[in-house]
Amino acid sequence: MRLANHQLVVDQALLAQFADFVARLLGLYFAPHRQDELLRKVYAITAAWGYRDANDCMRDLMAGDADGRWIDDLAQYLTVGETYFFRESATFVVLEQQVLPQLIAARRQAGCNSLRFWCAGCSTGEEPYSLAMLLHRLLPDLSAWQVSILATDVNPQFLKQAAAGTYKPWSFRGVQPSWVADYFEASGPDKLQLQARIRDMVSFSQLNLVSNDYPASDNGTSAVDLIFCRNVLMYFDETEAHRTVERLHQSLITGGWLVVAATEVGRSYFDRFHCTDFEGISLYSKQPGRPVKVRVPTRTSSKREAGYRPRAIASPARPHGTGTVAASQPAADSPYAQAMSLYEQGDYAQVVAVLSAHCAHTQAMLLVARAHANRGQLTEAAEWCRQAIAQDRCDPASHYLLSTILDEQGHAEEALQTLKRVLYLQPDFVLAHLSLGALGKRLGHVDAARHFGNALRLLATHTPEAILPESGGITVAQLTTIARIGYGGPRDGRQTD
């Protein structure tokens, strides 16, 4: 195979290594029979980045010589964005007539008008917006509910398109005209603009499903009622598909639902779920009890891979501000060190068991709070945060974690005030500015854009690949994308007060 413009022979062994690199980085599996497809994408990246030799381009990517744009650009060229509104309409019929009414009725009966949804691999937004329109019709008293719809994708370009909410007719193939008439308005030739009342129901964020950044209360991926992950797993290899399904199981509340595509992967991947068949549509629910934990296959990391893989969830013990490591580290065999190891493995129940009787310092209390939050035990998580604050009222990280938990509990105004307390203690706390922007936007506050602008100004002082404290391992580049989407203004990151 040759590069068309320059007739340069592509090293087949190198291409195979690059395919494995892409699988580790993004989970996207290009099997041997898809090598031609991968090569076409490599040609596109080579040309876009100004290389003359595709071999050199692949080597630089794998060696870490490319600049900070590598992961976003790779996602842009390698991910698939084919989707449309109410795709696989039979699934949405089941949701509209059975699953969602049951969830809504259960919450009404419990006196808790709160629902959390997550569309993982949302592409250009048609799926989460379809869900938002469906909920708008099912909840005539929507204003009395706390409805969170999180939509994530690894491709920042997809997220920008999704946030804009503007679509061409091809996105509406097979859609009933009433949906278009009720929720869209003409916007130029052959374009329709989604109404703000639906756009505002969805928040978009960049997330790589191959990373260790979920489930976590900080980014809204824990204690979820229903997760869409459709037409995503089919692009993963067996290892990453199993790992992702396991993490999605952890992200759901007990009784929560996972929606995958009919042709996704085999049912053996969902052994921890209860499968319910709705006249040919199979959905998976997380049932109570403690089934034997499936051992999720892991990869052997190389030094080269470590330089590229997204960082794991930021250590709750990491001090705020400078981001330097604390001078006094706990002994390797201490209860806190043991709990940290368990936390990184996702064994949150054991974190609580190990630390509950050994919470002598603030960071241990916060670790227990995070473990409870990631299990959906928000009341317990909030109580541990308050204990940490009682011990150290000037620690902004404690207040910030409490704010995220309060927001998940539906206490938006209290969360807002807590975030303001964070900024009083540390005015340059980027994550607090981002959260205030997102929360303010959801509540209709006019100063929401100002907080996103403040976040952009602060982020511009860091390198794109840096990891900020409390960011859950998300890079500055990814946070900047989130802030720009929320800000909705100039894209150069130089906004100020």
Residue partners of 449: CB distance under 8 A and separation at least 6: 437, 441, 486, 487, 488, 489
35-48 helix and 70-78 helix, angle to the nearest 10 degrees? 130
In the three-class reduction of DSSP (H, G, I as helix; E, B as strand; rest coil), residue 440 is classed as helix
pLDDT digit of tens for each residue in the chain (497 aa)? 334 444 357 888 888 888 888 877 777 778 777 778 888 888 888 887 888 888 888 888 888 644 445 667 777 777 766 788 998 888 999 999 999 999 999 998 888 889 999 999 999 999 999 999 999 999 999 999 999 999 999 888 899 999 999 999 889 987 889 999 999 999 878 899 999 999 999 999 989 898 888 898 878 898 899 999 998 888 888 888 899 999 999 999 989 999 998 767 677 889 899 999 887 788 999 987 534 333 333 333 322 222 222 222 222 333 333 232 333 344 555 788 888 888 877 778 888 888 877 777 888 899 999 888 887 788 888 988 988 888 888 888 999 999 988 888 888 888 888 998 898 888 889 999 988 988 888 888 877 888 888 889 999 998 888 888 777 667 788 788 788 887 774 333 333 33
CA 14: distance to chain centroid? 31
Report yes or no on whether pTM surpasses 0.75: no
In angstroms, the CA 471 to CA 452 distance is: 15
| Helix and strand element counts for the chain (H, E) | 21, 10
pLDDT at 283: 94
Instruction: Classify residue 293 as exposed, middle or buried by CB count within 10 Å of its CB (0-12, 13-18, 19+).
Output: exposed
Instruction: Give whole-number Cα distances, 248 to 194, 258, 402, in Å.
Output: 29, 8, 23
The enclosing H or E element of 203 equals strand 202-206
- Whether domain 89-285 has CATH 3.40.50.150: the reply is yes
Residue partners of 372: CB distance under 8 A and separation at least 6: 348, 352, 378, 380, 381, 384
Q: Nearest CA to 242 among 271, 275, 280?
A: 271
Q: Where along the chain do its domains lie?
A: 12-78, 89-285, 311-487
CB-based contact 122:128 (threshold 8 Å): yes
CB-based contact 486:452 (threshold 8 Å): yes
Q: Nearest CA to 81 among 202, 196, 171?
A: 171
Which of 2.60.40.10, 1.10.4190.10, 3.30.420.40, 1.25.40.10 would CATH assign to domain 311-487? Answer: 1.25.40.10
CA triple 191-205-216, angle to 5 deg: 150
In angstroms, the CA 183 to CA 196 distance is: 9
Beta bridge partners of 275: 284
Q: Which amino acid is at 363?
A: Q
Question: Omega into 215 within 30° of 0, i.e. cis?
Answer: yes
Instruction: Give whole-number Cα distances, 426 to 120, 430, 431, 479, in Å.
Output: 32, 9, 11, 18
In angstroms, the CA 369 to CA 319 distance is: 16
Per-residue DSSP letters for 377-410? -HHHHHHHHHHHHHH-TT-HHHHHHHHHHHHHTT
pLDDT at 8: 58
In angstroms, the CA 283 to CA 91 distance is: 9
DSSP 27: -
CB-based contact 167:126 (threshold 8 Å): yes
pLDDT at 347: 79
- Cβ count near 495 (within 10 Å): 19
In angstroms, the CA 359 to CA 34 distance is: 52
Residue partners of 273: CB distance under 8 A and separation at least 6: 249, 258, 284, 285, 286, 287
CB-based contact 355:364 (threshold 8 Å): yes
Q: Where are the alpha helices (DSSP H) in 212-361?
A: 238-251, 303-306, 335-344, 348-355
Strands 184-186 and 114-120, by their bridges, are: unpaired
CB-based contact 81:124 (threshold 8 Å): yes
In the three-class reduction of DSSP (H, G, I as helix; E, B as strand; rest coil), residue 146 is classed as strand
pLDDT at 332: 52
